[in-house]
Chain A
Amino acid sequence: MWPYILRRLLWGIPIVLGVTFTVFLGLHVMKGSPGAAFMGKAATVEQLEKFDRDHGFDKSYPEQFVAYLGEVFTMDFGRSWKTDRPVSDMISEGAGKSISLTLPALVLTTLVAVCLALIAAYFRGRSLDRGIMIVAVVGMSVSFLVYIVVLQYLLAFLFPIFQIHGYEPGFWERWQFLILPILIQVVVGMGYDTRFYRSVFVEEIGKDHITTAYAKGASQKRVMFVHVLKNALIPIITRVMISIPFLVTGSLLLEQFFGIPGIGSLMLASLDTDDFPVIKALSVLISMLFIVSTILNDIFYAVVDPRVRLK
């Protein structure tokens, strides 16, 4: 397995390089020096030149790119131009807050969607199945922003069940602020996941080994939870694994509306203020997370399905 992981990691290098190059093109070549935004409305030419010198914009593009590669190689992106704080500190602080929001949401969404999908698949073609699917489709059809705006208004303002906005860093204190955004994330994610998992389960139910299990006298419960669910784990794992990068990057809209100072907020703020070191660090981080999540995906395949071999 280790040679496989090593090989996949090596294959990841061109991907990271590609992302690095694309980000470089977008920031350094197309956008150019953001000195004017940083130095204020009355910046002098000398000040702008000094800004460019200090941040390497006076060098040729190849030199600037090599410098960026150096940052990627050492994973040292220096300090934020906007906040003067180490980029690594800003990311690690934000990541914890984002994960507090996204991890429970992912776990809950998956659990609820799998359960609903199993029920729908079990009662396929009947009114309960149709009811679940109608709710899922309606749920999917409403935009994320509408859920946030409406549910924040209803459940935090009109009926003040939850907090409207805010965040406390303490582990226990933070949950009062996280319940509603987690709930919204679950509601939004549930529709798509339930439909997807139902189709996987229905396909699985139609297979010969399920008929055999019934013929052998296995109970409905055993068939659904052991034979169907176990064999449908690969698509479930795939779906969960591709969500891993989003656990760290957070949910931009939820973080913005609920005042959670996570990576989503950080990303938006850095884009808004042309904070290149943070933008570059986050871009590379996200691409690396995608590579790691696909490798983890493959490893889990091998764990749940003995037919899969990592070569």
Chain B
Amino acid sequence: MALLALCALLCSVSCKHKAAWEEGKKVAHFSVRAKLGTLDPIRSSSTYDNEVQSQVYEGLYTYKYLVRPYQLEPLLAKALPTVSEDGLTYTIDIREGVLFHDDECFPGGAGRELVAKDFEYSFKRMADAHNQPTGWWIFQDRIAGFDDFQKRMSERGDAAFDWDAPVEGLKASGKYQLQIKLVRPFPQLLYVLAMGYSFVVPRECAEYYGDRFSNTAIGTGPFMLRTWTRGSRIILDKNPSYRDAYYPSEASPEFQDMLGDAGKKIPFLDAIVYHVYEQDQPMWLKFRVGDLDMTQLPAEYHEAVFNKDLTLRKTFVDAGIRNYNLPLLDFIYRGFNMEDPVVGGEKNKYLRQAISLAWDTKELNDAFYNNTCVLYDAPVPPGLDSYVAGVTSPYRGPDLERAKALMVKAGYPEGKGLPHLLLETSSGGNTEEQAEMFARALKEIGVQLDVNINSFSELSTKLKKKKAQMFGLAWGADYPDAENFLQLFYGPNEAPGSNNFNYKNPAYDALYDQSRTLQPGPERTAVYQKMREILIEDVPSFGHLARTRFYLWHGRLKNVLPDETFDGWRKYVNIEEQD
């Protein structure tokens, strides 16, 4: 006891919750999970990477903060682009007078002005395999001459990358003008240009820091990197030379009450501190004591914080805590390899339908997700074009009687004659328990399921080699367009491409080809609907879920509308002045 008393005394003197430098400043403390790996936008491999990068770097476009469904708006571009009549050439004017952060990589240490050439350079970085880019796919087979350029550069081996070699479809056509020429219409191009992979970096800094570039960050964003103590925290300071940018004056009806700061200059915060957490309990306790201003709610605390109707419990409301339940554009599913002789192809459709009918996604949602997921049938999650609420697939389980009847139709009455099926899934979380639940469900209709738990790398390799018979996986939206999900079933994208199902249906492919040329609108939505119907009938995937993320913050934070489609919204967050 004496020891504890002494510790308490020592700690009352030395244990400070806020650092001295924070005095008199607006500093927001956020949490980030330990998986944060890189600050180089083209190497980004997680939402955590993207979140921090998005405060420091910027791209040509972003999304309107307070408008839903998502709408694009210019960020470093002056306006939305001029698009040629054939939909192939995009001319983008860049804002003038935008400065990069001050850094020693610039002559004299002062950040220089952004020009169109910087985008040309930044996009070309994605073609340099030495950078290990994870986002090359956003431009692959889209920009005229870019694939050839990438191939030529790869063939040079260790010889220096030729940054000045021209790319037909990517050029700075003026000091402040960028021109992109596509190989075929790609209406989603602007979404791609709003992604983190497309953030602009200054060439001199990438070259100056070389291998260390992924550990630093010099962009045009509202915040600048002060320190990154790996595994501990990241401190970002307000960029003093940030251009004149203002809090939005436009909001959807549900966000009208967030317009209090409309027209005021941003960013409001003087600094952001990201604290790195590997475990949920300390993150949650830090939030409870107010050291963290905002956090995602760890699943284990869900019942303690939320009522059954997903409203905040009174204790937390009284404590001044606010929340936003963010529906994710998520596609969690189980899928079939359509080239597998047992489960794939047209002839085994009844078996796939039976398996889908045997699986109770509601039970899964209840047991593992606190009933917070949205269940849906075709692989387009709620919130996107072509999603129709309330429309249910005839093959959504559980309906064991129909499942058994379909097993007879498939030629396997009560599972007789059907070999053991194999589900490949990745380790982590509770995937093992979920797989066990699935195996138990299939047993009800006589299907014997073996489960193989893989690391993510192992599972990816099997999928790329078409070696998985059945698999469990998730896909998060790269941009808010149904195309990002529907392309997962496009024949030419078969493995090793993104079509892990190796699903090939000429009718579906023809519709996909048709949709690629269409701008968003009723005509394209109608095509998407037809594609959904085909997928529902063929069942290459089933048991679809979209998760909900629960964000909580203390009342002193203002203007908070969490989002994961774009992460650059911390510049709008303000802190209530306290007496």
Contacts and interface: CB of A to CB of B under 8 A. Distances in A.
Nearest to B8: A161
Contacts of A43: 134, 137
Contact of B230 (A39, A83, A155): A83
Contact of A176 (B14, B132, B291): B14
Contact of B278 (A83, A156, A268): A268
Nearest to A45: B496
A83 B35 contact: no
Contacts of B252: none
Interface string A158-176: 0111111111010000011
B165 interface: no
5 contacts: A149-B281, A152-B282, A153-B281, A164-B286, A176-B11
B226 interface: no
B278 A256 contact: yes
Contacts of A38: 45, 132, 134
Nearest to B456: A37
Given A51-B132, A149-B281, A179-B11, 18 more contacts: A31-B457, A34-B457, A37-B456, A38-B45, A47-B136, A50-B154, A83-B37, A83-B230, A85-B212, A152-B285, A153-B281, A162-B15, A165-B282, A179-B7, A261-B230, A261-B231, A261-B276, A274-B457
Given A164-B286, A176-B14, A269-B34, A257 B457 contact: no
Given A79-B211, A166-B275, A41 B498 contact: yes
A160 B282 CA distance: 13
B301 interface: no
Interface stretch (B240-248, B402-410, B458-466, B543-551): B458-466
Interface in B424-474: 455-458, 460-461, 464
A157 B461 contact: no
B229 A261 contact: yes
B132 A39 contact: yes
A15 interface: no
A259 B280 CA distance: 11
A168 to B, nearest CB: 9
Interface of A: 31-48, 50-51, 54, 79, 82-85, 90, 149, 152-153, 155-157, 159-167, 169, 175-176, 179, 183, 256-259, 261, 265-266, 268-269, 272-274
A45 B232 CA distance: 35
B129 interface: yes
Contacts of B281: 149, 152-153, 257
B214 interface: yes
A14 B134 CA distance: 40
B453 to A, nearest CB: 13
Contact of A256 (B279, B288, B458, B498): B279
A44 B136 contact: yes
| Residue from A31, A42, A149 with most neighbouring chain B CB atoms (10 Å) | A42
Nearest to B231: A261
| Residue from A32, A33, A157 with most neighbouring chain B CB atoms (10 Å) | A157
Contacts of B136: 44, 47
Nearest to B135: A40
B457 A269 contact: no
Contacts of A272: 35
A48 B34 CA distance: 25
Contacts of A161: 4, 7-8, 11
A36 B457 contact: yes
B461 A36 contact: yes
Given A45-B464, A83-B215, A179-B7, A40 B45 contact: yes
Nearest to A169: B229
